[in-house]
Amino acid sequence: MKRWGDLSQEAADHLAAGSVLDHAEMAVVVTDRFSNLLYWNPFAEKLFGRQGKSPARDASVLSLGIMEKDHPLAIELAKHVLKGGVWEGTFDVRRGDGTIVYVRAQAVPLRHTSGSVTGIVIMAREALRSNEREKDRFGLLERIGERLAGSLYVEETLKRVAEMLIPQFADHCFIELMEGDRLVRRVSQHVQGWTPPSGTWKPVGAEIRYPSGHYADTALRRQETILVEDFATSRYPAPHENSARLCGEIGMTSAIVAPLLVRGETLGLMYLGLSNLTDRRSPHYDAFDRDFVGAIATRVALAIDNALLFEEERHTAESFQKHLLPRALPKLDGLDIAVRYYPAAPLASHGQGIQTQVGGDWYDVIPLSAGRVGIVIGDVEGRGAKAAAIMGQLRAALRAFAQDDKSPADILARLDEWTRIIATPEQDDNGADVSVPPIVTCQYLVYDAWSRQLSFANAGHAAPLLLVDGQCVELDIEEVGQPLGVRAKGLHADLVYKEETRTLPPGAALLLYTDGLVDRRPGRDGRMPSEAETLGVLCDKLAKMSDAEVERVADAATVAVPGEIDDDMAILVVRSSDVDLDVEERTFPAQPIMVGEARRMAAEAFSGWNVPEERAELACLLVSEVVTNVVLHAATANVPRRELMVEGPPLPFEESWDMPGYEDELVGDKEFTLRLRRGEDSVWVEVFDQDLRLPRIRSAGENDEGGRGLYLVDQLAKRWGSRPTREGKAVWFEIPTRGR
């Protein structure tokens, strides 16, 4: 007779390690010291969604589907166990079919007979599906809270909720939120590969009305989690006949409905259901499941509330900034323009709470005199509504300053003074003013499409990128001034901001940007790429499309640098015309007889450009008025100092100014230049002279012979003005050729 415990050969074979592991209701995975898979049992195939597959040679344990955010956890597991310790924790696992399950795992060292650790043995099971549910509950709730905290958008939050609950906890998940006094379905998620037929369960976006006495209605009214343990022993009114019929067809077995409560308000309902669509060990919920789902609903409600508050704040800030930026760009001759603005993604995990990330980046395109255009891009330090408000003030101030048509360096100097003026008033304990101006980087450019001349000044901003002939390089800037608001006291702004001039090649493009384009948050490896690296990536990609349309260039620049943006981002792309624009220019002596010559030149040019006769005659009339004004004032203009050289002995002072012909010679040296430009919808006329005095409209008396010329220009031209030049001034006006 065999002793107790003695086994037959058949029984011994049945209890071999391989046979036992094949029947174990727990996943068993074995790896070597380098975390390469050596073995997994059949239950592991099922748990990790790898049915029918054997471990690939040199496949890592990460290939089991452990989600990327838990990779550091897996590395910690390996380090701890290889030192001889025991590790226990929970992983998020994405199965082969795309579903997500929570897996509770315990890892122990695999030892050689000598005692050395040769590998790792991992035993795993689906969380909350074992006799240790109480032990798993708190850890899982913590992980669910972490996943929900990573989202600040309502739709993304709801999507994450459905991913967490199906298929691990439910076959069907509905989430309905209150919109006013209506309950609207926002989520309708079901087990993989099944969707409710049309006309049965309400789709996403539909209003939901549960009949009185329905368990969901009870949950909403009582504000408590309701459990339906077994539909076979319970009867509830159905929302409608088709819904009840579908429940019978798929064999609904159990359900839990939890209200979403936060701050004393009911945001909506979360509905979980089990049916015969899946084969589960227990197709019914119990009281433990009810309490657990209620705890999940509390975290879901808080996450949804945070997302709703964030979206409201973000919408307010974005609307604020949207109305501070240009709503539409002007149509300009010889220049194609594209712009982009993107706020940074929320700081969900930076320990700074909910931040909209809307900041002080801005751009602008300002029509100037005679078809010229002012182009600006800037960045106010900081984020949020305050930075956006400062940006709005600076943008408005710069537009006003630009209308004076002064040089870019002068404009930045005035904007620097304005930056100091708008600094928030603050005082120290002694009452002394300690206001700190905002720090602003800015670049202002003036482009003339007819001459292709680009004038600019820089206040600490990144240089634009020049795209031409398949290359992308930074625009050469010799003088980069200090950012606005940081100039040292006593240092005049004229010494800080310098004007430079370049000529753009035909068809060349400029990309102006704020630092959000090249700044990126650290990757998952914790490494933050340098600005030089990201700029190199950007230039490499833009060089391949240097000849593309500006909209495509802007789109390409937006996605060229990988990673999540760390700051708001503004992009402005301009491309010069590859054809020359029509222009006529001629210099005349400042003599009355030249008024007719100037008018004749204008008439011939307008005729050659096919300007409508009525518009051409109006433009010629105003040419006469402006040129006449220049000629009449040339004789009274201040005579520039000249060195007087006469032969013979020095003359008395009085006689030196009465030399015959000397005064005539000086006045005769006066000249004016007439420049005519044609655009697609307008013609521009400019008259240049050496007089520094800018013209102004006078109120002519009833018997005055003059004083009405500029008034006539003001009434008949679409726009007119004057600007200082290095030699004197320019008076200009615009006449539309396609209607007023």
Here the contacts of 191-197 (C-beta below 8 Å, separation 24 or greater) are 191/166, 191/167, 191/277, 191/278, 192/97, 192/98, 192/99, 192/167, 194/277, 196/246, 197/246
Per-position DSSP letters for 522-562, written without gaps between them: --TTSPPPPHHHHHHHHHHHHHTTTTS-HHHHHHHHHHHS-
CA geometry: angle at 540 spanning 534 and 543, to 5°? 135
- Tell the burial category of 352 from Cβ atoms under 10 Å away from its Cβ (0-12, 13-18, 19+): exposed
CA geometry: angle at 161 spanning 236 and 351, to 5°? 145
Q: Which whole number is the average pLDDT over 264-272?
A: 91
14's CB contacts (< 8 A; 6+ apart) are none
Which of 129, 110, 131, 134 minimizes the C-alpha distance to 120?
110
450 pLDDT exceeds 90?
yes
* 257/271 Cα distance (integer angstroms): 4
266 in Cβ contact with 178 (< 8 Å): yes
Q: Which whole number is the average pLDDT over 135-139?
A: 60
Q: pLDDT per residue over 649-668, tens digit each?
A: 554 444 434 444 444 444 44
* 78/31 Cα distance (integer angstroms): 10
CATH class of the structural domain 583-636+669-736: alpha beta
Question: pTM for this structure?
Answer: 0.62
For residue 600, name the pLDDT band (cuts at 50, 70, 90).
very high
Q: Domain 17-127 carries which CATH code?
A: 3.30.450.20
Which of 151, 184, 187, 189 minimizes the C-alpha distance to 169?
189
Q: pLDDT per residue over 532-576, tens digit each?
A: 888 888 999 999 888 899 999 999 999 888 877 777 888 999 999
Q: Which of 265-269, 490-494, 604-608, 641-645 has the lowest mean pLDDT?
A: 641-645
Q: Within the chain, what is the greatest distance between any pair of CA atoms?
A: 154
- Same CATH fold assignment for domains 133-312 and 583-636+669-736: no
Q: Which residue is listed with tokens 């344990």?
A: 61
Q: pLDDT per residue over 142-174, tens digit each?
A: 777 777 776 677 888 888 888 878 887 889 999
* 584/678 Cα distance (integer angstroms): 9
* 688/731 Cα distance (integer angstroms): 7
Of 6 and 307, the one with more pLDDT = 307
684 in Cβ contact with 615 (< 8 Å): no
For residue 331, name the pLDDT band (cuts at 50, 70, 90).
confident
Choices 3.30.1180.20, 3.30.565.10, 3.60.40.10, 3.40.50.880: CATH for 327-425+435-486+494-576? 3.60.40.10
SS3 labels along 440-472: EEEEEEEEECCCCEEEEEEEECCCCEEEECCEE
113 pLDDT exceeds 60?
yes
CB atoms closer than 10 angstroms to residue 658: 10
pLDDT of residue 655: 43
Q: pLDDT per residue over 493-545, tens digit each?
A: 667 889 999 999 999 999 999 988 888 766 655 566 777 888 888 999 999 88
Q: pLDDT per residue over 673-689, tens digit each?
A: 999 999 999 999 999 99
What angle do the packed helices 287-324 and 133-149 form, to 10 degrees?
10
Helix (H, G, I), strand (E, B) or coil at 157: helix
Q: Which whole number is the average pLDDT over 337-346?
A: 80
**Residue 268 is inside which H or E element, if any?**
strand 265-274
Which of 329, 492, 516, 511 minimizes the C-alpha distance to 413?
492
- Domain borders along the chain are 17-127, 133-312, 327-425+435-486+494-576, 583-636+669-736
Q: pLDDT per residue over 351-386, tens digit each?
A: 334 445 567 888 999 999 989 999 999 998 877 677
CATH class of the structural domain 133-312: alpha beta
CA dihedral for 661, 666, 669, 672, sign (positive or negative) = negative
230 pLDDT exceeds 80?
yes
529 in Cβ contact with 502 (< 8 Å): no
